[in-house]
Homo-oligomer: A and B are copies of this chain.
Amino acid sequence: MAQLVNPDLVRERSRASFDAEKLTAVLYGGPDEVTRKRRIEALALKDPDYTHEDLSYLCREDQYVAMLKKSLMAARKVRELGLSERDRDSYMDFLLDWRAGAVNLHRTMFTITLQQQGNQEQRAKWLKLAEDFSILGSYLQTEMGHGTFLRGLETTATYDPSTQEFVLHSPTLTATKWWPGGLGLTVTHGVVMAQLYTQGRCMGPHMFILQLRSLDNHKPLPGITVGDIGPKYGCNDGDNGFLRFHQVRIPRDNMLMRFAQVAEDGTYSMVLDPRLIYGTMVSMRVRLTEQSNFALARAVTIAVRYSCVRHQSELTPGEPEPQILEYQTQQFKLFPHLAAAYAFWFTVQTLQTHYEQVNSRLQEGDTSGLQEVHALSAGLKAFTSLAAHRGIDECRLACGGHGYSHASGLIYLLTSQAVIVTGEGEATVMLLQLARYLVKCYAKSQAGAKLPSTVSYLQTVQSAAVSGVAARDLNNFDVLTEAYQHRAARLVKVAAEGVRFKVVSEGQSESDAWNNCLVSLVKCAEAHSQFFVVKTFVEALRRVDVDDSARATLTSLCQLYALHGICEQAGDFLQHGFLTGPDLPLARSQMCSLLSKVRSDAVPLVDAFDFHDQTLQSVLGRYDGRVYEHLYQWAKKSPLNKDQVHESYYRYLQPFLQQNRAKL
């Protein structure tokens, strides 16, 4: 009902230069896909059996219980509804978001690990139990003292041929498993990563499945100490847990044996090329890149809509307070992130396609392209998650005081996004994985080898023009792409030659030289990732089927993304002379012109992301813009308001004040 929408937003939408609905279709892959998405979304969000309570009002324990209840109902419904596998995943995503609910980890990590790491018999035995939710599982890898570096894990699984069992043990305090979702209170089973010892030798980390709690009364089984790890920055509806093993015995066939096995007598053998499991890691990184993108797009949606509803201060003396989106500084805070959200959206699509091609070859045992997509996805996971994390926080700050309230919906986005930066491969470690690949490729190309497509530009680094050409057309896509390519190529060269120089000329060991160049290695990996994003955005715009007005807006957005990056990292672009000093004020002034171009379409651009209000969970970012009345309603529900006078008054405040008055 249009008359119920805040007039500020009605005006914004009425003057849109393009049809947001058509852009939504472009983003989701066509009108049919939009229909499918909305059908599943409605199934999940409009089902009256769910109570979508605002968890930020509950204490942590109640948050856990509310999410448990919802997760279990979702698991039940998803079977009753008879959805396809793809629709089922969408349904769960809409309902549970990235909430740490036990069922989410069960399906995204536990079940998938059984599928991928179990041999045929193991899959037959366990997978049905897991898929029917007869057991609930977690994935136990990280330890109190060990994270990303798998070889450092301390938990041991020692094979005892006399009983044909593995003995799981936590030899030190730092070996305590720490962080696994659902572990604290919920799961019955777990897949555990432990150092395999057999015939007196350590064979490195391997995976084992075991039961953790009794199926009769949920008590931890003998030898297992388990519990919740306490409050966190976010994800407090989840029971991330700790676990210690004291000589816990499990049968030999609880080792997941698809890639390696231990025979009855303890003989260890490899079965398949272990690189085949890299595909799983890549798929997880693609998923996290997508999540980062969604999170940033949501934050931008909230902040842009609120900035059109909020009026503050004065632009022209005597005039009414303007919408805060009229301020150039507000546009400068928000629009580069809006542009990044579009850039990442297309990046995710391209990365997904790339991964699917490699993966279908992998299924036939062909590992070609695996290294490339592994490195690329590591870099993009880090680059986009960091950018989204920073972007969400800037959106929060741009919402002023109300951005600090849980009513903004931005606190949830920010604290959830923080997990993605660190979890499943810490950002710096990921960037260094990409850097190692880039340096290797650079060396190969110096030796004359041909490089895979995403890094083939490294072959050109020697021949690229170095002297600056002033007054280029900085809105030209070819110039912009070339600028990023040139920067990435130069920074890879600097890093690679830096390492080499320290070895050859300074006599440092390979590892010392590498460590002494880490800062420039991270830098080159970031530059490569950003070049990929810019190039992908430009290519997507050349490909997508939109009308002229939408194309004009998307073009401004793409130019803004690229020019903003150039201004932010201007040193990199000036250093090697691809841009010159006089280009920079030009770039800055063109960037500011793009801000005002994007301004008039800002609301339809975020509308096109098509996030449901229930997904945004934001009073500030409501589609109808009726922010203030709902903020007041929201606040009144605070449990601290349940009595007119809080009970603590009688116990503490009244005696204190009375005593002080008596002394007067």
Interface residues of A (CB under 8 A from B): 56-57, 59-61, 64-65, 68-69, 72, 75-76, 128-129, 132-136, 142, 144-149, 151-152, 173-174, 176, 178-179, 184-186, 188, 215, 217-220, 227-234, 239, 242, 310-317, 321, 326-329, 332-333, 393, 396-397, 400-401, 403-407, 411, 414, 418-419, 421-423, 426-429, 432, 494, 509, 511-512, 515-520, 522, 567, 569-577, 581, 584-585, 588, 592, 628-629, 631-632, 634-641, 644-646, 648-649, 652-654, 656-657, 660-661, 663-664
Q: Are B220 and A61 in contact (CB under 8 A)?
A: no
Q: Are B144 and A632 in contact (CB under 8 A)?
A: yes
User: Which residues on the B side are within 8 Å of A574 (C-beta)?
Assistant: 570-571, 574-575, 581, 584
A284 to chain B, nearest CB (A): 16
Q: Are A652 and B72 in contact (CB under 8 A)?
A: yes
Q: Are B423 and A401 in contact (CB under 8 A)?
A: yes
A351 to chain B, nearest CB (A): 23
* Complex alpha-carbon distance, A333 and B426, angstroms: 14
Indicate whether A230 sits within 8 Å of B405 (C-beta atoms), given known contacts A577-B581, A640-B61: yes
Pull 5 A–B residue pairs with CB atoms less than 8 Å apart, ordered by A. A76-B656, A219-B644, A227-B635, A227-B641, A520-B588
By CB atoms of chain B within 10 A, which of A147, A427, A629 has the most? A147
The chain B residue sitting closest to A228, CB to CB, is B640
The A contact surface, by secondary structure, is helix
User: Which residues on the B side are within 8 Å of A645 (C-beta)?
Assistant: 217-219
The chain B residue sitting closest to A386, CB to CB, is B397
* Complex alpha-carbon distance, A576 and B585, angstroms: 10
Q: Are B426 and A404 in contact (CB under 8 A)?
A: no
Q: Which one, B57, B328, B421, B515, contacts A231 given CB within 8 A?
A: B57
A389 to chain B, nearest CB (A): 9
A46 to chain B, nearest CB (A): 23
Q: Are A640 and B149 in contact (CB under 8 A)?
A: no
The chain B residue sitting closest to A428, CB to CB, is B329
Counting every copy of the chain, the complex holds 2
Q: Are B233 and A404 in contact (CB under 8 A)?
A: yes
Q: Are B628 and A65 in contact (CB under 8 A)?
A: no
* Complex alpha-carbon distance, A414 and B393, angstroms: 12
Q: Which one, B422, B585, B631, B639, contacts A403 given CB within 8 A?
A: B422
* Complex alpha-carbon distance, A426 and B634, angstroms: 24
The chain B residue sitting closest to A432, CB to CB, is B329
Q: Are A332 and B652 in contact (CB under 8 A)?
A: no
* Complex alpha-carbon distance, A421 and B398, angstroms: 11
Q: Which one, B218, B327, B520, B522, contacts A654 given CB within 8 A?
A: B218
The chain B residue sitting closest to A583, CB to CB, is B575
User: Which residues on the B side are within 8 Å of A315 (C-beta)?
Assistant: 511-512, 515
A50 to chain B, nearest CB (A): 14
* Complex alpha-carbon distance, A233 and B242, angstroms: 26
Q: Are B327 and A515 in contact (CB under 8 A)?
A: yes
Indicate whether A516 sits within 8 Å of B401 (C-beta atoms), given known contacts A59-B59, A133-B656, A652-B65: no
By CB atoms of chain B within 10 A, which of A227, A411, A511, A636 has the most? A227
Q: Are A419 and B404 in contact (CB under 8 A)?
A: yes
Closest 6 CB pairs of A and B: A570-B571, A59-B59, A228-B640, A149-B313, A328-B518, A227-B641
Q: Are A653 and B400 in contact (CB under 8 A)?
A: no
User: Which residues on the B side are within 8 Å of A229 (C-beta)?
Assistant: 405, 635, 638
* Complex alpha-carbon distance, A573 and B592, angstroms: 21
Q: Which one, B134, B232, B518, B640, contacts A327 given CB within 8 A?
A: B518
The chain B residue sitting closest to A523, CB to CB, is B588
Q: Which one, B242, B327, B638, contacts A632 given CB within 8 A?
A: B242
Q: Which one, B128, B215, B421, contacts A397 given CB within 8 A?
A: B421
By CB atoms of chain B within 10 A, which of A61, A404, A571 has the most? A571
Q: Which one, B59, B313, B428, B570, contacts A575 given CB within 8 A?
A: B570
* Complex alpha-carbon distance, A410 and B178, angstroms: 19
Q: Are A660 and B132 in contact (CB under 8 A)?
A: yes
Q: Are B404 and A134 in contact (CB under 8 A)?
A: no
Q: Are B231 and A628 in contact (CB under 8 A)?
A: no
Indicate whether A581 sits within 8 Å of B576 (C-beta atoms), given known contacts A400-B147, A401-B147: yes
Indicate whether A312 sits within 8 Å of B230 (C-beta atoms), given known contacts A218-B654, A518-B327, A644-B220: no
Q: Which one, B128, B142, B332, contacts A518 given CB within 8 A?
A: B332
Q: Are A656 and B72 in contact (CB under 8 A)?
A: yes
User: Which residues on the B side are within 8 Å of A411 (C-beta)?
Assistant: 232-233
* Complex alpha-carbon distance, A405 and B65, angstroms: 20
A326 to chain B, nearest CB (A): 7
A12 to chain B, nearest CB (A): 19
A227 to chain B, nearest CB (A): 4
* Complex alpha-carbon distance, A173 and B654, angstroms: 32
The chain B residue sitting closest to A239, CB to CB, is B640
The chain B residue sitting closest to A178, CB to CB, is B401
A137 to chain B, nearest CB (A): 12
By CB atoms of chain B within 10 A, which of A128, A218, A401, A422 has the most? A401
A318 to chain B, nearest CB (A): 10
